[in-house]
Amino acid sequence: MSKKVEEWTVLSMLEWATDFFENKDIPDPRHSIEWLLAETLEIKRLDLYLKFDRPLSPQELDTLRPMVKRRAQHEPLQYIVGYTDFINAHISVNEQVLIPRIETEQLVEIILDEHQSEEDLSVLDIGTGSGCIPIALKMEQTSWEVSGIDISEGAIHTARNNAEQNDADVSFTKGDILNPNSIIENGPFNIIVSNPPYVKPGEKDILQQQVKDYEPAEALFFGDLEKMYNSIIEFASQKLTENGYLYLELHEKYSQEILAIFDEQNWSARIENDYDKKPRFIIAQQR
């Protein structure tokens, strides 16, 4: 930003920063500066296009400059601004939790669609992270009793704050699915849902820099997928009600492998595709 302060306008900043981010190989460079600039000016992104000639004040430039620098280092936009929207919820995020994805929104929508007329269900989210899944479910189905567990104290703290700021009555406790005795949620549950870590460590290099360098490794990577899914299945076998449902998000590359695990454990399971028509979800019941 070498121009004199009085020379910067919304349009010139959009153009300059888009080129700057492109040269840094930042994904979606135009979207990046639009989000940061709209956040700085406290307006909607679309409103930027009505204010191209608006000058940027010294104070606004002082606010924007460090955010641009952080984005140029591939830090995710959601961590820079501190939040993301998830279906009906405003979710605070930080480096203690995975940034919610559109695929996870679809997982929640599947649950809501399949159980829209049912009341007073009990739901548990395993590996809750920011709490986005149970919070969104509770906000849509207020009669449901919804809770979440996570191995990370930082994630639990973030999830509780998110529940409070969204006025969602959701409980969060620390628990490790690989150590079921650590889980104090007794159940039984009508629904268990999870978006567990499903990227193998050897695949780290193919991830975007903004993912592998910033998001929590324990929420992304797990070396033994069979162990992970068998642990979830074992827990669900003990804690689900009769005819209860297990909903999982998974890596499309391993969908058939994971489906076979459910078959071996005598579960009835089906694969659902995401919006990109990739096999992304498993919906399962005990036979």
Q: What local confidence, expressed as pLDDT, does residue 222 receive?
A: 86
Q: Are residues 138 and 245 in the same domain?
A: yes
Q: What local confidence, expressed as pLDDT, does residue 6 receive?
A: 57
CA distance 18 to 97: 28
| CB atoms inside a 10 Å sphere around CB 177 | 20
How many residues can be counted in the chain? Answer: 287
Q: Which of 24, 39, 73 is the last residue of a domain?
A: 73
E strand or H helix at 54, and its extent?
none
The CATH number of whichever domain residue 247 belongs to comes to 3.40.50.150
Number of structural domains (the chain) is 2
Q: Which domain holds residue 183?
A: 98-286
pLDDT (tens digit, 0 to 9) for every residue of the chain, 287 residues total? 555 545 899 999 999 999 999 999 999 999 999 999 999 999 999 999 999 999 999 999 999 999 999 999 999 999 999 999 999 999 999 999 999 999 999 999 999 999 999 999 999 999 999 999 999 999 999 999 999 999 999 999 999 999 999 999 999 999 998 887 778 777 899 999 999 998 888 889 889 999 999 999 999 888 888 899 999 999 999 999 999 999 999 999 999 999 999 999 999 999 999 999 999 999 999 98
Model's pTM, two decimal places? 0.93
| CB atoms inside a 10 Å sphere around CB 185 | 17
Is the CB of residue 221 less than 8 Å from the CB of residue 273? no
Q: Are residues 164 and 272 in the same domain?
A: yes
Does any domain span residue 213? yes
Does any domain span residue 146? yes
The CATH number of whichever domain residue 40 belongs to comes to 1.10.8
Answer whether the bond into residue 66 is a cis peptide, omega within 30°: no
Q: How far is CA 166 from the centre of its chain?
A: 16
